[in-house]
């Protein structure tokens, strides 16, 4: 399947943002902590969420989707995650902590995900060991066994997934646990808020030092998945690349500080509490030097969007990717096929902006695919973006939504 994109058309209009993939996956993983009904609203209907639901259903959870509301209930009947599903997404790792907390054992084939780097799980596993859990990592399967006991653990890196797993692992652990150097991404904070709503005793939510006093049991709740800040940035980047004029609604500007700071110095950006008005009149003179880093700094998930914007600018940009070791080279090569001037040295891309022309390019990961779509929207002429299954993992009908703003994207088998 590929997108056929006729570029050079300014995007205009209003577009709502749906729930965040990386929030939904963490909340779905946490559902294992209780048999009660957990009702997740604004849950995006994307491939990764669908696969996470299948994983939970195969392991015994009852899951019902009605529109954008997903209701989960019941016990796990198996503590072994099915390999056929677990290897389809990175999010499958997010059942580790809750399964160990609730069932004191779990077996997980090592998760799949994007080709953006090795993505080891050492921080997850060392953290569980610090809680007294036995961990066996055979290289393609991780097995954990034991009752988590309260402990203090410092994450060597503020890993999003490891923070989420360790939070869940501590929730039912007798005593007070302290997690130091936690990730503070909005999706992590949403998980902390939901766990508190479920009866967990958490202090320091949203900070890098979180204390969890274990409780005997936690109950169900209803929770709204936060808006997807990466999807919002994707729409804004598409408008920037096509000199468009759009309003993004149902979003959370306060979760997008680093991105919006960069954009507001080059485009007309007006933020309201849950919406952003954006217009671009000319190509900016480059974006300076931008380094990706954990929240609240520039997100790695927006790096491929910025690489495209830099390629369409009229100046120089240097982008340093500090989180994933293989998240620059593929898109740089594909954009260069479209006339970009990008050179990559280790984790540093140097971009001299200019005009892009249509070409046949292929996506290799979720956010990289979105970056190539934006490049095709900006390019003169027609492009084909293949391997679009990667995009469907995290975007609801990206082509349809961009076409609502005036893009000309069709799908070809």
Closest-approach residue to ligand EPZ (CB):
161
Kindly state the helix (H) or strand (E) to which residue 1 belongs, with its residue range. none
144 is catalytic: no
Least separation in angstroms between CB 187 and ligand EPZ: 6
- Chain positions contacting ligand EPZ, by CB under 6 A: 21-22, 25, 90-91, 114, 117, 119-124, 157, 159-162, 183, 300-301, 323-324, 366-367, 394
Least separation in angstroms between CB 407 and ligand EPZ: 21
Kindly state the helix (H) or strand (E) to which residue 266 belongs, with its residue range. none
Is 247 or 303 the residue whose CB approaches ligand EPZ more closely? 303
Least separation in angstroms between CB 233 and ligand EPZ: 12
- Which residue spans within 181-315 are E strands per DSSP? 201-203, 209-213, 221-224, 245-249, 268-271, 275-279, 288-291
Is 353 or 394 the residue whose CB approaches ligand EPZ more closely? 394
Torsion sign over Cα 247, 231, 242, 265: positive
Beta-strand pair 408-412/2-6? antiparallel
Least separation in angstroms between CB 324 and ligand EPZ: 5
Neighbouring residues of 141: CB distance < 8 A, sequence distance ≥ 6:
107, 108, 109, 110
Residues in the chain: 413
DSSP 271: E
Is 61 or 124 the residue whose CB approaches ligand EPZ more closely? 124
Is 244 or 394 the residue whose CB approaches ligand EPZ more closely? 394
Is 155 or 407 the residue whose CB approaches ligand EPZ more closely? 155
Neighbours of 13 (CB within 10 A): 12
Catalytic site residue from 23, 43, 114, 168: 114
Query: For residue 358, which of 35, 8, 2 has the smallest C-alpha distance?
Result: 8
Neighbouring residues of 128: CB distance < 8 A, sequence distance ≥ 6:
96, 97, 100, 135, 144, 148, 165, 166, 169
Least separation in angstroms between CB 10 and ligand EPZ: 27
Active site (catalytic) residues: 114
């Amino acid at each position: 399947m590929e997108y056929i994109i006729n570029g050079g058309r300014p995007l205009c209009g209003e577009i709502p943002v749906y729930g965040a993939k990386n929030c939904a996956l963490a909340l779905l993983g946490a559902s294992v902590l209780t048999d009660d009904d957990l009702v997740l609203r604004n849950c995006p209907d994307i491939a990764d969420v669908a696969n996470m639901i299948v994983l939970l259903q195969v392991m015994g959870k009852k899951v019902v989707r009605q529109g954008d509301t997903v209701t989960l209930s019941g016990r796990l009947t198996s503590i072994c995650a099915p390999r056929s599903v677990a290897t389809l997404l990175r999010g499958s790792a997010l059942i580790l902590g809750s399964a160990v907390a609730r069932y004191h054992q779990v077996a997980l084939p090592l998760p799949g995900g994007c080709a953006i780097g090795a993505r080891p799980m050492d921080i997850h596993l060392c953290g569980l060991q610090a809680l007294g859990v036995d961990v066996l990592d055979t290289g393609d399967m991780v097995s954990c066994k034991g009752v988590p006991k309260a402990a203090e653990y410092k994450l060597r890196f503020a890993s999003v997934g490891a923070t989420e797993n360790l939070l869940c692992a501590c929730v039912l652990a007798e005593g007070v646990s302290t997690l130091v150097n936690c990730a503070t991404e909005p999706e992590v904070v949403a998980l902390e808020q939901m766990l508190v709503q479920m009866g967990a005793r958490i202090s320091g939510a949203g900070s890098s030092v979180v204390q969890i006093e274990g409780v005997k049991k936690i109950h169900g709740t209803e929770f709204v998945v936060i808006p997807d800040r990466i999807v919002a940035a994707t729409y804004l980047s598409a408008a920037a690349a096509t000199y468009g004029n759009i309003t993004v609604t149902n979003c959370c500007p306060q979760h997008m500080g680093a991105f919006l700071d960069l954009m507001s110095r080059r485009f007309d950006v007006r933020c309201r509490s849950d919406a952003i008005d954006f217009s671009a009149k000319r190509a900016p003179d480059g974006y300076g030097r931008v380094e990706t880093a954990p929240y609240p700094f520039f997100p790695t998930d927006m790096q491929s969007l910025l690489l495209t914007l830099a390629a369409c600018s009229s100046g120089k940009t240097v982008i340093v990717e500090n989180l994933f070791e293989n998240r620059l080279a593929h898109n740089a090569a594909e954009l260069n096929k479209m006339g970009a001037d990008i050179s990559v040295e280790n984790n540093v891309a140097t971009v001299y902006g200019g005009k892009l022309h249509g070409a046949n390019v292929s996506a290799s990961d979720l956010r990289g695919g979105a970056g190539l779509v934006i490049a095709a929207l900006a390019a003169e002429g027609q492009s084909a973006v293949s391997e679009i299954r990667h995009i469907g993992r995290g975007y609801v009908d990206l082509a349809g939504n961009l076409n609502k703003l005036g893009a000309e994207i069709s799908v070809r088998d």
